[in-house]
Structure 1
Amino acid sequence: MSEAQLDTVTKAGATPQAPQPFAEFGMKDDEYARVREILGRRPTSAELAIYSVMWSEHCSYKSSKVHLRQFGEKAPESDTLLVGMGENAGVVDVGDGRAVTFKIESHNHPSYVEPHQGAATGVGGIVRDILTMGARPVAVMDALRFGPADAPDTRRVLPGVVSGISFYGNCLGLPNIGGEIGFGAGYSGNPLVNALCVGVMKHDDIKLAQAPGPGNKVVLFGSTTGPDGIGGASVLASATFDDESQAKRPSVQVGDPFMEKLLIECSLELFEQDLVVGIQDLGAAGVSCATTELAAGGTGGMRVELDRVPLRDSRLTPEEILMSESQERMMAIVSPERLDAFMAVCAKWDILATVIGEVTDVTPEEAERGGRLVMTWHGETVVDMPPRTASDEGPVYERPYARPEEQDALQANDAARLERPATDAELREQVLRVLGSPGIADPSWVTGQYDRYVLGNTVLAAPHDGGMIRIGDGGDRGVALATDGNGRYTRLDPYVGTQLAYAEAYRNVAATGARPLAVTNCLNFGSPEDPAVMWQFAESTRGLADACQQLGTPVTGGNVSFYNQTGTTAINPTPVIGVLGVIDDVNERLTSAFGHDADGAKIFLLGETREELGGSAWADVVHGHLGGLPPRVDLAAEAALGEVLADAAGYGVLTAAHDLSDGGLVTALAESCLRGGVGCTVDLSGDPFVGLFSESAARAVVAVRPDAENAFTELCRRHGVPAAEIGTIGGTALAVRHPDGGFDIDLTALRTTYESTLPAVFDEE
């Protein structure tokens, strides 16, 4: 390599004291010092750009790695896991030579700054992660959290987020089959926008992020590179928000779902013709991420000419090209003999494709240092670095963590001491208050903006417990998915609260008749520099790893989102857990609706009900209270309940099933009645308040076919699941009876309360 080509790097070596804006790039003093140690000189501006984004919290997991390792160390043995953590998404065998890949990720901070584009590009990014594995994306879901529904900030953010998700997903033609939405004061200024995508493939379709084979070409294809999103997700998600956060609008990416649709079809044809040997999408950190990760995953050598990157703005500098997070872009490694065929497919789909470099061989010495990535700009070398040091060998912090001093007082503030309804009239009024609260009320104002049935394979979607889709080739095999999280529970006890989130998602999948198989997660927390937050995170990851180990569902991948706080005020820790299950025949699925065809069917309550009100919807809605302990976890009971529900679906003995979680039994009964348009009468023994509002876990309410009651109770006995007959389907009201009286709520009044909350707040928006 000539001296002229090395000019920029040579200058960096000859001017060691030249000031560099590493702090403005989010890099700490010791991190900058380590870069200099790796390179043996100060970095060039382009190298500084690469290290700053690749070592950001969002890309490197530098504060969470030491805890995330548990998911691998405690991983249960699995015959179905084909690709685990470390790739763009996990892949699970679902039988008959078919596989599914699924993952959930956050786009929280960009969605606060620019709600529509932030949420839209969150969907686009997770879809490309699934595509990059070699799969056809077939459905999306989302888990959302906002501040109080009537707060000005929520009225700005929520409609934009929903429109962004709807716009992007609907334009792609992907059904949105479910998710969840919650509200709480802690999410004001820190909304959570977590997007999940699932894709379908055959076993031999799996693609990996690697660049093997010296001489192979590096091809950038898709949209051109512009100034939008420079430092976007990698920077916005790696710092605490403040009053000037909306000034960061230029850092939010801009999405084009129509281009993404073309990119999907083009990529799938490239895969079908076996024209790529490695593939990576350009998401957070853009070209920096794609080049370093592909090089590190292959031979360790790559040469790139940044001049060849197609630009929307010719004024972009190498640093800006490397940091741009312009959407709808992919990078492929293509053998020279297949390059013409690759380009022909891209031309067919009107996708711009450009060779920007090639894979190179490395010497043993270079390989030992992590390979060699060289980038040029106008004939000068602006990058000469070991790619693995950026992609795999970033800083790893063992952040100090400590149980916060106020935790004992918080747990001692028991919700059992709160004032309870003294009469049936008060009990009825509090039932309606809980059912009409924003976090429990009908979410149709949101979900109605999504296309749930496009592609024709949706079997279940919102408002049911989980989403379910057929997985192709005209068969009846399907997968079910659910996401769940409860920040109140996790605030009270991060270990138990995370297990409860996992258990609820597991239970929701089982309530569709599917058998839970694998887990993804999106872990949303405050600043990792706060020891109290890191204690929450450490306990949460330990809880999830232990639970997955016990129930045999491996963690396939996910996302960590830190710095979800304004100033020193962090959100309640909110791990969102996604569970995927398999059902052999989607025609045997269960819904949560009490239908007219089930008139006279008996209602059974499965599981044990205890007086457990800590972190409950009742305590939150009626008293604005958070304190005490969350419900206890019994994972063996969750597994047994899951077996009962899956077996019962296969045997055809149930007409409906609905898990019990937020709001307790009364919420589940009201939702099942409203979804089927028929009432029910239940007789409760003991304290009706506890019976209606307790949030004990490992419970479900089911409707049993009249001719199958004995078979069902025997099934429950065989699995050791308590089953109590509590009522009958029929009538036009939700009727509650107990030893000292009771009350009725006409379905019309119930529907008015349940369905009017969100439209009343957001319709004018």
Structure 2
Amino acid sequence: MPLSAPDRERVVEELGREPTRAEAALFENLWSEHCAYRSSRPLLSAFESDGEQVVVGPGDDAAVVALPDEELYVTFGIESHNHPSYVDPYDGAATGVGGIVRDTLSMGAYPIALLDSLYFGEFDREHSQYLFDGVVEGIADYGNAIGVPTVGGSLAFHAGYEGNPLVNVACVGLLPPDRLLTAEAQHAGNKLVLVGNATGRDGLGGASFASEDLGKDAATEDRPAVQVGDPYAEKRLIEANEALIDESLVESARDLGAAGLGGASSELVAKGEFGARIDLEAVHQREPGMNALEILLAESQERMCYEVAPENTERVAEIADRFDLGCSVIGEITDGNYSCTFDGETVVDVPAEFLADGAPANDLPTERPAEPTRDLPETALDTAFERVIGDPNTASREWVYRQYDHEVGLRTARGPGDDSAVLAIQETGTGLALSAGAEPNWTAAAPHAGARAIALENATNLAAKGATPLAAVDCLNGGNPEKTDVYGGFSAIVDGLAGMCDALSVPVVGGNVSLYNDSAAGAIPPTPTIAMLGARDGYDAPPTELVGDGTILVIGDRALAGHEAGLGGSTYLDTTDGSDRFPTLPENPHALIETLADVANREGTRAVHDASHGGLAVTLAEMISPVAGADVELDGPASAAEQLFHEQPGRAVVETTTPDAVREAFADIAPVHEIGTATDTGRLDLATDDGELSIAAGTIAERRAVLDRAMD
């Protein structure tokens, strides 16, 4: 993807001359949509990023948030590896994990958890299953090998991802305050040291490749733009990074990701308002005969760029050698331009800030997406129930997460399959709750309201485990922003996500933008993945499954009848080809989440599960086990379908022995409906005005094992 004519003119005006070949390639990659956020930057000011707990906000490799006691910090970051995962699902997904882990290292933290949010075309398509299989295997093999548990995430299948899957990966790290690093250069005269794998020709032009639509031959033509990972080198790099920080040898750090060495080194010095002088021939290389452009832009994995005081470079090299990693002193920080030499010639000599931050923002027109029409199908209760609980979008994810080592590190108190993961931070007795995901059916039906719903649902996931949200990061995925309707939908999800996070008092402390997710199959649905973390005292969170001795309550609005029902975006309508308005959301989400977290921590609470994807039907199905069932009766003006399958977020099902106390807690905040009792039958017995249903836990589990049957 060549440097555009307007960008070239801007560069020529700044430099007073034509750029060299290496300079033009650097500007092409660093001014790409992937690196510079040119189309999304004007929208991102909608997010509130400040808060007492925020130590480092947007703009660094990862955000840093203080835990409630302030004795420890956590880092939080998210990134996409969408195009690479289409071209090569295994390596594309694996190197996405590696990249977000190195973002964690560059802040001085030790990675303690991963979350992956995955989106593919319709599940019954052979190509979707091929991509799904490769992506999960890539994440599993890389994460398991480096010893970082994958504890949560999300999975969705939708026709809009057939030609362009999404792979969004988040990472959480842990560090004490005195180990905090940033990606901001500190002092002129310090050395730039490259530690890690040797530089090869893999991943060339990856940033520009990620900033264009996927062509029909992308799987073959774009293969050189996909990096190849080595998780065992990454594990050695993790431990070497710890050793370097233990000895206070690092002044600042940046991992080598998009745009390779050129991107990492120029951004590092630009952030500190410095320049650099780099000898490209000093870079340790894997392949002979590499030219300047290849050394600058290769996105070879498992590499870090460190700022090191001159007197410490030998010790850094010794530690790198101890962990069998390459080490090169490649240059130094200066007060001048960002310059690179190769073979005795200066091949780059530009202002660092202009290179890293000089890309102009795009002012693009928008068009409001069309509203869905109303078309409610009529389906028998038992048929609808079986379809919804057996749909790939609500089915058991066990096939995925049993491939992940989610116990490594011995911190996982609640792992995959629950509303949110809970990590035990034993050092302070804090439970760290984590949730991530999006719902393409919601944002395809109503981008603004759907994005608000996604933020609320993730907050509800945390509250269901007794945690109060602290912060969030987002991965904003969209199609080609040059199409007015696509950019209109993208703008709507940004506003919706920002608005709900603000209403919840949850700062959005970092994120990633991935646009040009278009292919011959068309644009993806606007997909605002959000990862949210929260904290609670202790880590003994209530389970999702019923215990069998309490009253069952639904917290939140009950389905209304007729036009006010709001089944839009639901799995029910997706399985029956219907469409409808999106449900309204609670008026006071902040109070709702805080109260739910409080109720989840009460002694009388036996189980808590959020009600969202698949509605109340899937929620109850997931709470049933062979040792605990439910006797449920639904009545009122709404039909059984409206009550069972609407997916308004901000609702939860609670099993409690103190129902009156729960009602009192939610007075003036949210309605509380008693729908039945927990039993020891291991069956869901459901009575409605439209019919009755009785189904055993084993039968439910069998019908929900869709992924296992297809993938095994």
TM-score by length of 2: 0.96
Deviation at 1:323, TM superposition (A): 1.1
Alignment of 1:230-249 (within 5 A): 230-232=204-206, 234-247=207-220, 248-249=222-223
**2:550 is the alignment partner of 1:601:** yes
**Contact 1:84 1:91 (8 Å CA) reproduced:** yes
**2:685 is the alignment partner of 1:735:** yes
**Equivalent residue in structure 2 for 1:127, among 101, 105, 108:** 101
**Contact 2:419 2:465 (8 Å CA) reproduced:** yes
**Contact 1:640 1:721 (8 Å CA) reproduced:** no
Deviation at 1:256, TM superposition (A): 0.5
**Contact 1:653 1:712 (8 Å CA) reproduced:** no
**Equivalent residue in structure 1 for 2:5, among 3, 21, 29:** 29
Q: Determine helix, strand or coil for the equivalent of 1:720.
A: coil
Alignment of 1:336-355 (within 5 A): 336-355=310-329
Q: Distance in 1 between matches of 2:338 and 2:426?
A: 41
Q: Distance in 2 between matches of 1:740 and 1:387?
A: 68
Q: Which amino acid aligns with 1:327?
A: Q
Deviation at 1:395, TM superposition (A): 2.1
Alignment of 1:430-441 (within 5 A): 430-441=384-395
Q: Deviations over 1:328-369 (max 9, x none)?
A: 00000101122222222222222211101011223xxxxxxx
Q: Distance in 2 between matches of 1:237 and 1:634?
A: 37
Aligned to 2:423: 469
**Contact 2:88 2:223 (8 Å CA) reproduced:** yes
Q: Which amino acid aligns with 1:528?
A: P
Deviation at 1:741, TM superposition (A): 4.3
Evaluate the alpha carbon distance shift between residue 137 and residue 472 of structure 1 in structure 2; reply closer, same or farther with a 3 A threshold.
farther
**Equivalent residue in structure 1 for 2:61, among 81, 85, 88:** 88
**2:628 is the alignment partner of 1:678:** yes
| Number of matched pairs | 702
Aligned to 1:389: 354
**2:481 is the alignment partner of 1:528:** yes
Aligned to 1:188: 162
Query: 5+ residue gaps in structure 2?
Result: 560-564
**2:663 is the alignment partner of 1:716:** no
**Equivalent residue in structure 2 for 1:546, among 487, 491, 499:** 499
**Equivalent residue in structure 1 for 2:511, among 558, 581, 588:** 558
Larger helix proportion, structure 1 or 2? 1
**2:632 is the alignment partner of 1:656:** no
Deviation at 1:254, TM superposition (A): 0.3
**Equivalent residue in structure 2 for 1:459, among 413, 417, 424:** 413
Q: Computing the radius of gyration over CA atoms, which structure comes out larger, 1 or 2?
A: 1
**Contact 2:430 2:539 (8 Å CA) reproduced:** yes
Runs of 4+ with deviation above 6 angstroms: none
Q: Distance in 2 between matches of 1:400 and 1:677?
A: 57
**Equivalent residue in structure 1 for 2:543, among 572, 581, 591:** 591
Aligned to 2:378: 420
Q: Distance in 2 between matches of 1:709 and 1:670?
A: 21
Deviation at 1:600, TM superposition (A): 2.6
**2:467 is the alignment partner of 1:502:** no
Deviation at 1:202, TM superposition (A): 1.4
Aligned to 1:47: 23
Aligned to 1:66: 42
**Contact 2:160 2:521 (8 Å CA) reproduced:** no
Aligned to 2:239: 265
Evaluate the alpha carbon distance shift between residue 624 and residue 239 of structure 1 in structure 2; reply closer, same or farther with a 3 A threshold.
same
Q: Distance in 2 between matches of 1:339 and 1:758?
A: 51
Q: Determine helix, strand or coil for the equivalent of 1:418.
A: coil
Deviation at 1:377, TM superposition (A): 0.5
Alignment of 1:346-385 (within 5 A): 346-362=320-336, 372-385=337-350
Q: Distance in 2 between matches of 1:616 and 1:155?
A: 23
Aligned to 1:12: none
**Contact 1:609 1:694 (8 Å CA) reproduced:** no
Q: Determine helix, strand or coil for the equivalent of 2:666.
A: helix
Q: Deviations over 1:468-500 (max 9, x none)?
A: 112242x42121111121222212222111111
Deviation at 1:568, TM superposition (A): 7.2
Q: Determine helix, strand or coil for the equivalent of 1:395.
A: coil
Q: Determine helix, strand or coil for the equivalent of 2:388.
A: helix
Structure 1 vs Structure 2 CA RMSD: 1.5
**Contact 1:153 1:189 (8 Å CA) reproduced:** no
TM-score by length of 1: 0.90
Q: Determine helix, strand or coil for the equivalent of 2:704.
A: helix
Q: Deviations over 1:166-208 (max 9, x none)?
A: 0000001111111111101111011111001000111232211
Q: Determine helix, strand or coil for the equivalent of 1:651.
A: coil
Q: Distance in 2 between matches of 1:739 and 1:227?
A: 66
Alignment of 1:176-255 (within 5 A): 176-232=150-206, 234-247=207-220, 248-255=222-229
Q: Determine helix, strand or coil for the equivalent of 2:695.
A: strand
Deviation at 1:739, TM superposition (A): 4.4
**Equivalent residue in structure 2 for 1:136, among 94, 110, 113:** 110
**Contact 1:200 1:471 (8 Å CA) reproduced:** no
Q: Distance in 2 between matches of 1:640 and 1:208?
A: 35
**Equivalent residue in structure 1 for 2:653, among 701, 704, 711:** 701
Q: Determine helix, strand or coil for the equivalent of 1:36.
A: helix
Q: Deviations over 1:438-477 (max 9, x none)?
A: 111111111111111111100111100011112242x421
Q: Deviations over 1:631-675 (max 9, x none)?
A: 212251x3233222221233322111111111110100000114x
